[in-house]
Amino acid sequence: MSKPEMPPESPAGSPVSVFARRRVLFAVATLTAVAVAWLAWQRAGAQDDKNGKRGRQTPTVSVATAATGDMRVSLDALGTVTANNTVVVKSRVDGQLEKLYFKEGQEVRAGQVLAQIDPRPFAVQVTQAEGQLARDMAQLANARADLARYRTLLEQNGASRQQVDTQEALVRQLAGTVKVDEGAVAAARLQLSYCRIVAPVSGKAGLKQVDEGNMIRASDASGLVVITQVRPANVVFSIPETRLDDLIRARAANPSLPVEARDRDGSTLLARGELLTADNQVDTATGTLKLKARFDNRDDVLFPNRFVNVRMLLATRKNVLLVPSAAVQQGKPGSYVFVVNADKTVSLRPVKTGPSENERTVIESGLAVGERVALDGLDQLRDGKKVNPVGQGERHAPDASAPLGEKQNKAA
């Protein structure tokens, strides 16, 4: 039998041999680097375990000290400024507009003349009515004189009772005609007086809706001008039904609750006023109750139909335990805080919270005065975890006397 043929050996310097050696060397280098990195990681982990860490440093957190203070309990809402009175000034008669006596945007007084309609057609009607009245009054006077003569003749048997009765009926008929004429004269004079259009209320005139020389009619929907009474001004806003009991208790103690109106972002105080009234029923579609507050608006900052942020003070709670709102978290146990202990560990503490305002929250129970709570980095904290507190407890709860809108958390 013949021996099987073997493949020829590659020469030592052939390209196939060089490529194979390079692959082997690359694999050995890679395995060596991985092994070195794994050993370094193991040594770092062991060192971290020895120092109480595992690949992470001790988190640094800001702390605040729970302290007592006063809390303003208020209701916040979005409101709309409304004019105290809004009147569309219209003509009561048809005619040509002769003159306008106001300027757009002018403050006008009740009874001030705003416009004049051509009075001549109405003056003619007054003259006609007065002439009719004079004629009928003359006929009435003559009928009364005849009645007096008939009564005298009746006493002398010179006239019959029927003549006297007929004359008395004529006198009454003419007296009624005179009454009708007097009413016609009064109506004509009233129509003539409507040619002078006066302001029904005091307020600010808007843009004119008609120019001089145009024919205007009593049926015109737009009228001549709109007058809005903005001193005082009202703000209408709504509160949720869930706060209705708080409102009832607050109004029982003070019917005129103080109300603040602020700009859209809430940073600027526009005006201070008081609660005027509340609607008589809850809106079932929205579950809210409408309220109306009144403001003097002496500087005209509350413009009709402007949107404002409303804050209504319900009460002031005295000497309550306060912490920054940033310290209060919500989770499975409900509301809780991380208390920073003396040994620089944190404890998860369930608490019962009260109202919040100005970045402050009332703690009803679960926390004591002087205890420190963590404010930031809370997502890294666990019960019993060591932390590095900033300020060593010198950062306190917000100042209770600080004005509304002021930052309450003070730096350490």
**CA–CA distances in Å: residue 213 to residues 115, 192, 355:** 11, 18, 63
239-253 burial code (b ≥16 CB/10 A, e <16): beeebeebbeebeee
Order across the sheet with 95-100: list the strands.
196-198, 113-117, 95-100, 215-216
321 alpha carbon, distance to own chain's centre: 31
Q: What is the CB-side half-sphere exposure of residue 325 using CA atoms within 13 A?
A: 11
Q: Which amino acid would we find at residue 302?
A: L
CB 236 within 8 A of CB 209: no
CA 51 to centroid of chain Cα atoms: 57
Q: Give the per-residue pLDDT at 18.
A: 61
Residues 6+ apart with CB under 8 A from 337: 323, 327, 328, 329, 348, 349, 351, 366, 367, 373, 374
Bridge partners, residue 62, by sequence: 390
pTM, full prediction: 0.63
HSE-up (13 A, CA, CB side) for residue 200: 14
Q: Which of 399, 122, 79 is nearest to 270 (CA)?
A: 79
363 vs 327: CA distance, rounded Å: 11
Quick one: tokens of 301?
């900052």
Predicted local distance difference test score (pLDDT) of residue 402: 42
Q: pLDDT below 70 — which residues of the chain?
A: 1-20, 24, 36-56, 391-412
All domains of the chain in start order, with CATH: 60-71+317-393 (2.40.420.20), 75-84+231-316 (2.40.30.170), 120-194 (1.10.287)
What is the C-alpha R_g of the chain? 46
Report the distance separating Cα 44 and Cα 225, nearest Å.
83
Pair of tokens at residue 363: 């703690």
Helix ranges (H only) for 224-358 are 244-253
Q: Which residues, 6 or more positions from 59, have their beta carbon under 8 angstroms from its beta carbon?
A: 377, 380, 381, 385, 387, 388
pLDDT at 56: 56
CA distance 397 to 319: 13
Phi, psi of 345 (to 5 degrees): -105, 160
Q: How far is CA 328 from CA 70, 222, 382, in A?
A: 18, 56, 15
Q: Are 362 and 379 in contact (CB under 8 A)?
A: no
